[in-house]
Structure 1
Amino acid sequence: MSISTSGSTSHGSKTDGKNGTMNATTDATTTEATRRSLLSGMNWLVWRQHRAAFWTILAATALSVAWIVYRRGQMMDFLDSHGYPAKGLAEMGNEFAPFVNAFSPVSLAFVTIPILLGVFLGAPLLAGDLENGTSKLIAAQSMSRTRWLATKLGLAALVVVVSMTALSAAFGWWWNPVKSEVTVLDWTSTEAFNTTGPVPVALTLFSVFGGVAIGAVLRRTLMAMVVTFGFTVVVQVVWSYFLLSLGNVITLTTNKGVGENSTPSLPEGAYQIDEWYRTGSGDLLGWSTCAGGDTDAAREVCLKKADVVGWAVDYLPMSQMNGMQWFGASILFALTAGVAVFLFVWGRKRLV
């Protein structure tokens, strides 16, 4: 009985060993097949066709992030050694100036990225294939034009999202310790607003997809790149013009007169939009209403006659920045989705 049990156990162990080996082999085969499927077929073809542009974008992103990490480390060492934030930047004089000066050129360079990627990635993405006849070769294969278009847009979008998310996160991490300091970067400026949060991702995606659509319609690479350049510049200008309208303007009023030290104090980092004199009836008058008085006494008489009792100031608090960015990004994502739908509907018959 003991021998029989031992033999049964031994047989079971051998069976389990074989099954384990077979399961391991099957898992390895499945994993290998999955990897091959991701790197073969249409995915491989599109990646190989645009690999120079994709790798250039990813490499430039990696170098930029590494440089930002290095610069942030230097800045934090300096701030820690000088007792910031207990000791303000104003007390440091010009010693902090080199760190301040490093932000603006980098942020301005980041603002141009949507334009560059729209022109050099988006415009040629389909225009090149339509111009040289590659699209006709694709249409003659077993793969559908929809699959070809989806792969093109998908890989381009993936590279853009990965790169811009990394740059946005890195720049925001660099700027965050001194974010409330208006002398470093004004949060309502395009240099700060368009380089942090979801905005750079959304703005770049819209620029690239817009370039793709322009290339698909014009079917000529060089012409598409020129038109896309104009398109992306217009997008930047329009976006900058409507940027402040993304927030909810707050009005602060006072009734303590308009003499010295009567101007209302705004929250730290707040962006002042405009200010007026406020009358006892609640009407608003331009701050230059009584500026024409020859003397202070004449000005006082003018203000009293107009029944001016205080100030009314419109401003945007810095706390709204994140909400404004997501609201603006959602609009850009919706526009990008609309362009993608246009490409799929229009391209079912015209992408040959």
Structure 2
Amino acid sequence: MSTMTNTGTTGSTSSDSARGEAGRGRGLRLGGMNWLVWRQHRAAYWTLLAAAAIAVAVMVYQRQQMITYLQGYDYPHLKDGWENKFDHAPLNSTAQLLQLVPILIGVFLGAPLLAGDLESGTAKLVSAQSVSRVRWITTKLGVTALVVVVCTTAVSAAFTWWWSPVKSSSYALSWYDDAGFDSSGPMPGALSLLTLVGGVAIGMLLRRTLLSMVVTLGFAVALRLVWSHFRMSLGNVLTVTTHNGVTGENVFPNLPDSAHLVDQSYLTAAGDTIGWGSCNQGTEKAMNVCLEKAQVVGWSVDYIPMSQMSSMQWLGASILLALAAGGAAFVILWGRKRLV
């Protein structure tokens, strides 16, 4: 009896000591479901993190090269003519590549996230354990979304910093185009999260990895097209008018630098507007007769100034993030009862 008692005590002490050593050695390491999800998708996570780090390093280098060139033109107060020899190809190419990031994240990270487990049977194994389906899904979404947010935020911040010295000039990159608007500020993160969640939802419903990736590609491209169509509607359109006629010199309204021209029309004496092409009769005489008959007195121009870019981006990002949150809620609620 004495021997058995001593052995049990010793075993308990050793076990407690081992757990204590493991606890001290763990430190800030991931544990439980977080560790399992990270280990399962570590290749994709590390690839995304490494790509973001390389992209940030390249952008920092390119900005230093650009600043060196601009200093020859008294940067930050640039003199006229700096655009003549400015190489805007790296900036434009990078902006174009950054537009692919949300699509790639949705296809290669979002679509296989649950579809791979459902196709291989891992989801059934997980559902048979003590961990609930909701916790498993939320952990997968949470860890993946965190990695995506960290990477896209870092890349977007680096690109915005790189672009900022020449942002006011449309020669380098137009702020209202897809490449400039969607590659800076909060937009890459918001678009990436929405395509990520969309890919996860598609994979959960289709349960086949390859098919889910193909459908997610179509979803991401469609999202890009729809977003491009409605993006500028986020701005507050301003109108400026003139009453100096429509022909001759200095009759067109002066717009702020890099303003986005929405529409331009003829302004009549009654305050109405008519399309500027309605009096294009082919000859100058016929055009003047038409303008006089319509009582045209000047121009009416609708535009969006560049000063609204930041507010438009945050408004757009809020809408996209709300859609992503709705998609995440759908994934959790659907997976709670119908995942396997």
**TM-score, normalised relative to structure 2:** 0.90
Distance 1:176 1:225, change over 3 A: same
Q: Displacement, 1:37?
A: 7.6
Q: Which residue of 2 aligns with 1:241?
A: 229
Q: Displacement, 1:186?
A: 0.7
Identity, in percent, stands at: 56
Q: Which residue of 2 aligns with 1:95?
A: 85
Residue identity opposite 1:290 in structure 2: C
Residue identity opposite 1:95 in structure 2: K
Does 1:52 pair with 2:74? no
Q: Displacement, 1:209?
A: 0.5
Q: Which residue of 2 aligns with 1:277?
A: 266
**Structure 2 regions of 5+ residues with no counterpart?**
1-19
Q: Which residue of 2 aligns with 1:62?
A: 53
Aligned-partner Cα distance in 1 for 2:75–2:264: 33
Distance 1:300 1:79, change over 3 A: same
Does 1:263 pair with 2:252? yes
Q: Displacement, 1:93?
A: 5.6
Aligned-partner Cα distance in 2 for 1:93–1:198: 28
Greater gyration radius: 1
Deviation string, structure 1 residues 122-165 (Cα, Å, up to 9, x no partner): 00000000011111111111111111111100011000000000
Aligned-partner Cα distance in 1 for 2:22–2:253: 65
**Residue 225 of structure 1 aligns to a residue in which SS?**
helix
Residue identity opposite 1:62 in structure 2: A
How does 1:326-341 map onto structure 2 within 5 Å? 326-341=314-329
**Residue 85 of structure 2 aligns to a residue in which SS?**
helix
Distance 1:236 1:33, change over 3 A: farther
Aligned-partner Cα distance in 1 for 2:21–2:320: 39
The partner residue of 1:159 within 147, 150, 155 is 147
Aligned-partner Cα distance in 2 for 1:334–1:241: 19
Tell me the matched-pair count: 320
Q: Displacement, 1:277?
A: 0.4
Aligned-partner Cα distance in 1 for 2:206–2:116: 11
Aligned-partner Cα distance in 1 for 2:28–2:157: 32
**Residue 95 of structure 1 aligns to a residue in which SS?**
coil
Distance 1:219 1:183, change over 3 A: same
Q: Which residue of 1 aligns with 2:117?
A: 129
State whether residues 76 and 165 of structure 2, in contact with CA within 8 Å, keep that contact through their aligned partners in structure 1.
no
The partner residue of 1:229 within 217, 226, 235 is 217
Q: Which residue of 2 aligns with 1:287?
A: 276
Aligned-partner Cα distance in 2 for 1:231–1:30: 49
Aligned-partner Cα distance in 2 for 1:303–1:293: 13
State whether residues 70 and 78 of structure 2, in contact with CA within 8 Å, keep that contact through their aligned partners in structure 1.
no
Does 1:150 pair with 2:135? no
Aligned-partner Cα distance in 2 for 1:248–1:35: 53
Q: Which residue of 1 aligns with 2:198?
A: 210
Q: Which residue of 1 aligns with 2:68?
A: 77
CA RMSD of aligned residues (A): 1.8
Aligned-partner Cα distance in 2 for 1:54–1:137: 23
Q: Displacement, 1:78?
A: 1.0
**Residue 91 of structure 1 aligns to a residue in which SS?**
coil
Deviation string, structure 1 residues 168-192 (Cα, Å, up to 9, x no partner): 1000000000001101111011101
Aligned-partner Cα distance in 2 for 1:185–1:308: 35
Distance 1:171 1:287, change over 3 A: same
Q: Displacement, 1:60?
A: 0.3
Q: Which residue of 2 aligns with 1:140?
A: 128
Deviation string, structure 1 residues 252-300 (Cα, Å, up to 9, x no partner): 1111211222000101111111100000111111112221052x34422
Aligned-partner Cα distance in 2 for 1:209–1:321: 26
